[in-house]
């Protein structure tokens, strides 16, 4: 096999070294971007519910929705979290996610559902399907951002 552009060992080392610098620079830029998204994200709110206690996030923006209710139910041998959310303004994206716990307090399953374009004043009835009836507790998080 004949190389069209033969490289010396020194030239090959220089290319590998330059690729490492570029790789490290890209990693640094991605890291800074993630930090900026976390610091200045445009979330209007997140509501978490764990065994009946709702908590709002510490956002300075007014909430864009209200969690009306949620409960753990069993149907056909499977668990599910059902709930209702009311939008206080137009919401482009709304997500409800749940972690399911067994009697030992270990996470045994997690799942989520979402809705797009919920109008101001509209309500969303959601169901998040879980595993078998061995579920004894759940943690529900509702948020209006993808992050």
For residue 129, the model assigns a pLDDT of: 95
Q: Given the structure tokens 């709110």, which residue do they identify?
A: 45
**Residue 49 pLDDT greater than 80, yes or no:** no
For residue 13, the model assigns a pLDDT of: 52
Q: Which of 15-19, 59-63, 114-118, 120-124 has the lowest mean pLDDT?
A: 15-19
CA dihedral of 129, 133, 135, 139, whole degrees rounded to 10: 30
Q: How far is it, in rounded angstroms, from Cα 87 to Cα 30?
A: 33
For residue 57, the model assigns a pLDDT of: 47
Report the SS3 class of residue 51.
coil
pLDDT digits 0-9 by tens, 116-145: 999 999 999 999 999 987 899 999 999 988
CA dihedral of 49, 54, 57, 59, whole degrees rounded to 10: 140
Q: Which of 16-30, 39-53, 58-72 has the lowest mean pLDDT?
A: 39-53
For residue 6, the model assigns a pLDDT of: 53
Q: In the chain, pLDDT over 70 holds for what percent of residues?
A: 57
pTM of the prediction? 0.60
pLDDT digits 0-9 by tens, 66-110: 999 999 999 888 999 999 999 999 999 999 999 999 999 999 999
For residue 25, the model assigns a pLDDT of: 52
Q: Given the structure tokens 């909430």, which residue do they identify?
A: 63
């Amino acid at each position: 096999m004949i190389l069209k552009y033969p490289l010396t060992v020194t030239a090959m080392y220089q290319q590998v070294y330059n690729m490492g610098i570029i790789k490290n620079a890209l990693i640094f830029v991605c890291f800074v971007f993630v930090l900026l998204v976390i610091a200045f994200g445009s979330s209007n709110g997140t509501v978490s519910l764990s065994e009946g206690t709702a908590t709002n996030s510490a956002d300075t923006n007014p909430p864009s929705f209200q969690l009306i209710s949620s409960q753990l139910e069993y149907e056909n041998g499977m668990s599910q979290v059902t709930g209702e959310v009311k939008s206080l303004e137009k919401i482009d994206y709304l997500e409800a996610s749940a972690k399911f716990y067994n009697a030992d307090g270990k996470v045994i399953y997690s799942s989520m559902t979402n809705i797009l374009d919920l109008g101001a004043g509209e309500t969303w009835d959601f169901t998040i399907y879980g595993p078998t009836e061995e579920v004894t507790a759940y943690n529900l998080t509702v948020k209006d951002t993808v992050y």
